[in-house]
Chain A
Amino acid sequence: MGMGVKVRVWGQYALFSRPEMKVERCSYDVMTPSAARGILEAVYWHPGMKWVVDKIHVINPIRFTSVRRNEVKSKILASNVLQVYNGADKPLYISAKSDIVQRASLLLRDVEYVIEAHFEMTDKANETDNPGKFKDIIMRRLRRGECFHMPYFGCREFPANFALCEEDEIKTAYDVVEEKDLGFMLFDMDYSDQNDIKPMFFRAVMRKGILDLRDCEVVR
């Protein structure tokens, strides 16, 4: 490998929605690998590389809180936009009064994780791209706090602070917990067929505060 990095991320709240409960959103107990990948991609990403998450260290105890908010239930319809685009004189907006819906979200609070990840080169890399170059860019960005956009924990209202983690030994709140079964969790989405994006799941077992994703069985 050699191209691994450790990133410490923390924030006040997090919401990694369970796909089975996404109307009234309910968070998973810990960060999903796909959310971890999203955080890394917010810092640096290039078509010539892909992030692979190896381990997630759960530093803080898992605690929940809930927030209910007024939300709108409809999305922008592409067909409506097209009509107006082509000159139709139609109203184009969502009325927050008639489209309102109140939804609760079960959030995680005071989260902190260390993401261990590495990247692999893809065939979209240019000739001048090489792992060393990517690694340099990534390390520089992590040290200086540079990012493409502010990373977030599941939803954009929950920003994720990030910093390069340089300690070798990482203390977690679950150091003494031999094994905690978190059940089936979303691993990531399979984007290999753009017309048919499929979710992938895995059996998440946290051992001593660490979610090891290197040899886990992924179910499609």
Chain B
Amino acid sequence: MSEVIKNRYEFVVLFDVENGNPNGDPDAGNMPRIDPESGLGLVTDVCLKRKIRNYVETVKEDEKGYQIYIKEDVPLNRSDREACKDLGIEETDDKKVTEALKKLKKSDPDTDVKLRDYMCSNFYDIRTFGAVMTTFVKASLNCGQVRGPVQIGFARSIDPVISQEVTITRVAITTEKDAENKSTEMGRKSIVPYGLYRAEGYISANLARKVTGFSEDDLALLWEAIINMFENDHSAARGKMAVRELIVFKHSKELGDCPAYKLFDAVEVKKNEDVEYPRRYQDYKVEIHEDRIPETVEVKRMV
């Protein structure tokens, strides 16, 4: 595996959605998330992390060291194997394992660290985003929490978005009883006609070095995953989504050269003046004010 990253990074991701629902709000009947005060659209951090996980899972196909801990679905053959074990062929009794673990912890105080390192080296998402592990010795391992180096905030749209209700019909009726008295069923879709969203993220080189071992290769994979996160995520609900811009700030040092907010402020995204209702990416202009960025910080536009 390649070396652990040595620089702090910040990044800005701009992605847009056309006639789709980037992130449904379970509180609002799966309508797009909207900040009620400002009307700006929201996409949660976990939504984006899910896409990154999915991309890595698709590309790496369970390659060693690139497994994904939090999966969307259980592959069938695995469940089968689990079933065999349940027949008592091997020791799968949880109590016995717990006891073994307790015993081991008494003889080897580093057990927690070993287990953590094992998880970090095998699972890409734990190495990147961190995870919470339950441990049996209280107070050890910071309550089982592993903080990953990559931290992402909520994404917000540049301009207020409107959510549009689209009523659709289908001719296939679900139940036979319904089929007797109606010929179509009505459904609803909520879409955002257009929205350009901006997400900001941070990568701490210290956490990479001291905790999870997030490497240069992992970083390259992360950029690739961010750039392609919507490419393998097409669905009826999403509409057209694409990453339009990934701007990466590479600090010259592990601790960083300047405050993150200054770098983020240097990226200005504006609607063109003659545009009243933005409906495409070309209606926006992205400007990076290089003069506000210290010379030691390297700026890369990756898309």
Binding site for B on A (CB under 8 A): 12-13, 65-72, 75-83, 85, 88-98, 102, 104, 109, 141, 144-150, 152, 156-159, 161-163, 191, 194-197
Q: Is B81's CB under 8 angstroms from A89's CB? A: yes
Nearest chain B CB to A81 CB, angstrom units = 5
Nearest chain B CB to A193 CB, angstrom units = 8
Nearest chain A CB to B158 CB, angstrom units = 14
A163 to B149, CA, bound (A): 21
List 27 A-B residue pairs with CB atoms under 8 Å apart, sorted by A's residue number.
A12-B156, A65-B36, A67-B27, A67-B44, A69-B44, A75-B133, A76-B134, A78-B115, A79-B136, A81-B118, A82-B100, A83-B92, A85-B115, A88-B92, A90-B82, A93-B69, A93-B70, A94-B71, A96-B73, A146-B253, A146-B257, A149-B147, A159-B200, A191-B139, A194-B139, A197-B138, A197-B139
A97 to B291, CA, bound (A): 47
A82 to B138, CA, bound (A): 17
Q: Is A68's CB under 8 angstroms from B27's CB? A: yes
Summarize B's interface: helix, strand, loop or mixed: mixed
Q: Is A144's CB under 8 angstroms from B258's CB? A: yes
Which residues on A sit within 8 Å (CB–CB) of B71?
93-96
Q: Is A76's CB under 8 angstroms from B132's CB? A: yes
Q: Is A96's CB under 8 angstroms from B72's CB? A: yes
Nearest chain B CB to A3 CB, angstrom units = 21
Who on chain B is nearest to A140 by CB?
Answer: B255
Given contacts A104-B27, A150-B260, A161-B260, 10 further A-B contacts (CB under 8 A): A70-B46, A76-B119, A76-B134, A90-B85, A94-B70, A94-B71, A97-B73, A144-B258, A149-B151, A159-B153
Top 4 A-B residue pairs of the complex, sorted by shortest distance between their CB atoms: A145-B259, A149-B204, A146-B255, A157-B45
Instruction: From the candidates B94, B207, B261, name the one contacting A161 in the complex (CB within 8 A).
Output: B261
Binding site for A on B (CB under 8 A): 25-27, 33, 35-37, 42, 44-46, 50, 67-74, 78-79, 81-82, 85, 90, 92, 94, 97-98, 100-101, 104, 111-112, 114-115, 118-119, 122, 130-136, 138-140, 144, 147, 149, 151-154, 156, 200, 202, 204, 206-207, 253, 255-262
A94 to B68, CA, bound (A): 9
Who on chain A is nearest to B53 by CB?
Answer: A96
Known contacts A81-B133, A161-B261, A156 near B151 by CB under 8 Å: yes
Q: How many A-B residue pairs have CB under 8 A?
A: 171
A79 to B258, CA, bound (A): 43
Known contacts A12-B154, A68-B27, A90-B82, A148 near B147 by CB under 8 Å: no
Instruction: From the candidates A65, A68, A82, A157, name the one contacting B101 in the complex (CB within 8 A).
Output: A82
Q: Is A79's CB under 8 angstroms from B101's CB? A: yes
Which residues on A sit within 8 Å (CB–CB) of B45?
157
Which residues on B sit within 8 Å (CB–CB) of A146?
253, 255-257
Which residues on B sit within 8 Å (CB–CB) of A97?
72-74
Instruction: From the candidates A75, A88, A147, A158, name the one contacting B144 in the complex (CB within 8 A).
Output: A75
Q: Is A78's CB under 8 angstroms from B153's CB? A: no
Known contacts A102-B26, A148-B204, A91 near B74 by CB under 8 Å: yes
Which residues on B sit within 8 Å (CB–CB) of A67?
27, 33, 42, 44
Which residues on A sit within 8 Å (CB–CB) of B153?
12, 157-159
Q: Is B118's CB under 8 angstroms from A85's CB? A: yes
Nearest chain B CB to A109 CB, angstrom units = 8
Instruction: From the candidates A81, A89, A90, A162, name the one contacting B119 in the complex (CB within 8 A).
Output: A81
Who on chain A is nearest to B23 by CB?
Answer: A69
Which residues on B sit within 8 Å (CB–CB) of A156?
130, 147, 151
Which residues on A sit within 8 Å (CB–CB) of B260?
145, 150, 159, 161
